[in-house]
Amino acid sequence: MEIIYKFDIVPTPDQIVKLYNESGLPRPTADKDRIKIMFENSNLIVTAWDNSTLVGVARSITDWAWSCYLADLAVDPNYKKSGIGKKLIDFTREKVGEQVMILLLSVPTAMEYYPKVGFTKEDRAFAIFRTS
Ligand SMILES: CC(C)(COP(=O)(O)OP(=O)(O)OC[C@H]1O[C@@H](n2cnc3c(N)ncnc32)[C@H](O)[C@@H]1OP(=O)(O)O)[C@@H](O)C(=O)NCCC(=O)NCCS
């Protein structure tokens, strides 16, 4: 199995919805227009492909000089634990460079994952939650 990583591709809403639903990533996949907007307005999208099948996504929003919000990370369950998530994060780190801090919110099941791939747990975070 050869996985190809791409930086210049915005997957279709259908590809994204399929991956997110299968991976269990909680995102508004019932609303494809919202998914489309989420991707159109992101400026760092790393994707992993097995031939023409989308098997992983890291979607980020960054200013390229200080901050990067890693908004979504998902790997197809058939390809889990083969290093794809780590690669997507490594490529994201490489693209933003050393000046940039990468921030994210973890789902409960990934709390043990992020420390393994280079993240430090932070207690200073605050959020204003969306209401719809
Ligand atoms: C969490 C997720 C992105 C991990 O991707 P992955 O490609 O399977 O993970 P990797 O292969 O990069 O794993 C790297 C290491 O973390 C471990 N790991 C993987 N998933 C883990 C988890 N959920 N909890 C703890 N450790 C995990 C792997 O065993 C591996 O350990 P090793 O280096 O000792 O072998 C993927 O399982 C996924 O998409 N999950 C559903 C959606 C999700 O939770 N996304 C994160 C949202 S915040």
**pLDDT tens digits, 9-68:** 999 999 999 999 999 999 999 999 999 999 999 999 999 999 999 999 999 999 999 999
Which ranges constitute the DSSP H helices of 11-119?
Answer: 13-23, 32-40, 84-96
CA distance linking residue 40 with residue 3, whole number of Å:
24
Distance of CA 132 from the midpoint of ligand 1 (Å): 28
Look at the pTM and tell me if it is higher than 0.85. yes
**pLDDT value at residue 5:** 98
Amino acid identity, position 51: N
With contact defined as beta carbons under 8 Å apart, do 35 and 28 qualify? yes
Q: Is the pLDDT of residue 1 over 90?
A: no
Helix pair 13-23, 32-40: axis angle to 10 deg: 100
Measured from the Cα of 83, ligand 1's closest atom is 11
With contact defined as beta carbons under 8 Å apart, do 19 and 49 qualify? no
Distance of CA 80 from the midpoint of ligand 1 (Å): 7
**pLDDT value at residue 111:** 98
**pLDDT value at residue 59:** 98
**pLDDT value at residue 126:** 97
**pLDDT value at residue 33:** 98
Average pLDDT over residues 2-11: 96
Query: Using CA positions, which residue lies closest to atom 4 of ligand 1?
Result: 85
CA distance linking residue 101 with residue 70, whole number of Å:
10
Q: Which structural domains are found in the chain, ordered by start?
A: 3-116 (3.40.630.30)
With contact defined as beta carbons under 8 Å apart, do 74 and 81 qualify? no
Model confidence pLDDT, tens digit, residues 91-128: 999 999 999 999 999 999 999 999 999 999 999 999 99
Q: Between the CA of residue 56 and those of 1, 9, 38, 103, 121, what are the distances in Å?
A: 14, 12, 16, 19, 23
